[in-house]
């Protein structure tokens, strides 16, 4: 089922405590903006854990989505990239030993192309395409697939979205109506704020609005989406991951054309071989030099809304049939993230 766009979560911060072994779904965020969005999509919020494994410095939020107990963690403030993500995942598995499903949910840089009409606020989901998997500039390795229960839920959710359409923006609106203090940061930016610059246009540090966007020839003109088109749209395919932010639009376009990459992000390569998970990214910017934070909140919400919908598609019985993630970290599978190295900066 897809979560209702109108039903408000039944938040209860003093819900009866659960044991650490009761949690089977892990949700990892990289920054506090993503962490806030994730918490807003819980149906019920539990008390924090009364015990974690020695040396575990993670910050956790516990709760329920549908029929599942979910543990949410965030990377330490100001720390990004593959290594710290791997540490957070390892600590989580030690403290919550029955985790069987993993989600990496947050924001990323989109790669629009003639083949993929990616806009700000859209969602990109890691999924096999054309026999490719993994993520890296250097083609260093391919990475683990998510568990079967998660891949099955992904297929079911695609069918539901195709038949009934995603209710993502209505779901977000219901949350923001319930918690209006978040609307300014987490609502869709007003007006015509989605600007895609030509790849050869380098950001002027004096300001995009005053300089980069002042020349109409610098901007790629795209028609508005039709009323019957999903908006935000969901895209499935290859993501690229590394410890550095992609800022070169020309390099980005070359890599995307060669490997059909939809999104660049910074954490998944640190997780996949020890924490097989589905990666869900809300698009907050394009992978070029024109960086801004205007879309981060809304993109975090669209990614979180998709994550909740896919969790609601997972049958509890299918999770019971899965191995614990800690038992399959040595498995070798093909995955849909391409690991890019640091040879190109």
Work out the pLDDT band at 144, boundaries 50, 70, 90. low
20 found inside a domain: no
29 found inside a domain: no
Work out the pLDDT band at 13, boundaries 50, 70, 90. very low
Higher pLDDT, 10 or 137: 10
Range of the domain at 335: 106-339
93 found inside a domain: no
Say if residue 326's pLDDT is above 50: yes
115 found inside a domain: yes
Domain count, the chain: 1
Measured between alpha carbons, how far is 334 from 151 in angstroms, rounded to an integer?
13
Q: How many CB atoms lie within 10 A of CB 217?
A: 6
Measured between alpha carbons, how far is 250 from 246 in angstroms, rounded to an integer?
10
SS percent in the chain: helix, strand, coil, step 5: 30, 20, 50
19 found inside a domain: no
Residue whose pair of structure tokens reads 């009934």 in the numeric block: 164
Question: How far is C-alpha 171 from the chain's CA centre?
Answer: 17
Lowest mean pLDDT of 22-36, 75-89, 223-237, name the range: 75-89
Residues with Cβ within 8 Å of 298's Cβ and at least 6 positions away in sequence, in order, are 121, 172, 186, 187, 188, 189, 282, 284
Return the pLDDT at 202.
Answer: 72
Mean of the pLDDT values across residues 233-255?
72
Which of 18, 37, 7 has the alpha carbon at shortest distance from 299?
A: 37
13 found inside a domain: no
Most confident range (mean pLDDT) of 107-116, 213-222, 322-331 is: 107-116
Work out the pLDDT band at 9, boundaries 50, 70, 90. very low
Measured between alpha carbons, how far is 212 from 189 in angstroms, rounded to an integer?
19
Lowest mean pLDDT of 22-31, 104-113, 145-154, name the range: 145-154
Q: Rounded to the nearest 5°, which phi and psi values hold at 182? A: -90, -10
Query: Helix, strand or coil for residue 269?
Result: helix
Q: Would you say 61 and 35 are in contact if contact means Cβ atoms under 8 Å apart?
A: yes
pTM assigned to the model: 0.85
330 found inside a domain: yes
Return the pLDDT at 42.
Answer: 97
pLDDT digits 0-9 by tens, 251-306 = 666 776 677 888 887 666 556 556 678 889 999 988 776 677 899 999 999 999 99
Return the pLDDT at 247.
Answer: 58
Return the pLDDT at 29.
Answer: 92
61 found inside a domain: no
């Amino acid at each position: 089922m897809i979560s209702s766009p109108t039903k408000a979560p039944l938040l209860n911060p003093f819900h009866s405590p659960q044991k650490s072994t009761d949690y089977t779904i892990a949700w990892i965020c990289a920054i506090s903006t993503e962490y806030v969005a994730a918490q807003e999509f819980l149906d019920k919020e539990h008390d924090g854990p009364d015990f974690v494994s020695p040396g575990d410095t993670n910050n956790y939020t516990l709760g329920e989505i549908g029929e599942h107990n979910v543990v949410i963690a965030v990377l330490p403030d100001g720390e990004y990239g593959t290594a710290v993500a791997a540490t957070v995942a390892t600590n989580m598995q030690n403290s919550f030993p029955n985790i069987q499903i993993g989600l990496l949910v947050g924001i990323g840089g989109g790669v629009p192309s003639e083949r993929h009409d990616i806009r700000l606020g859209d969602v990109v989901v890691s999924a096999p395409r054309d026999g490719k998997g993994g993520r890296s500039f250097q083609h260093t390795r391919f990475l683990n697939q998510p568990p079967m229960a998660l891949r099955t839920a992904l297929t079911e959710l695609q069918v539901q979205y195709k038949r009934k359409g995603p209710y993502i923006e209505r779901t977000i609106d219901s949350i923001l109506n319930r918690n209006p203090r978040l609307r300014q940061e987490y609502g869709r930016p007003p007006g015509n704020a989605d600007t895609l610059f030509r790849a050869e246009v380098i950001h002027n540090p004096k300001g995009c609005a005053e300089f980069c966007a002042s020349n109409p020839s610098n901007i790629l003109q795209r028609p508005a989406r039709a009323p019957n088109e999903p908006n935000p749209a969901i895209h499935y395919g290859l993501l690229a991951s590394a410890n550095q932010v992609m800022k070169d639009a020309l390099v980005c376009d070359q890599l995307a054309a060669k490997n059909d990459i939809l999104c660049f992000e910074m954490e998944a390569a640190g997780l996949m071989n020890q924490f097989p998970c589905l990666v869900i990214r809300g698009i907050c910017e394009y992978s070029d030099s024109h960086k801004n934070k205007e879309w981060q909140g809304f993109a975090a919400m669209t990614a979180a809304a998709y994550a909740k919908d896919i969790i609601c598609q997972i049958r509890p019985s299918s999770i019971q049939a899965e191995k614990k993630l800690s038992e399959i970290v040595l498995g070798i599978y093909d995955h849909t993230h391409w690991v890019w190295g640091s040879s190109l900066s």
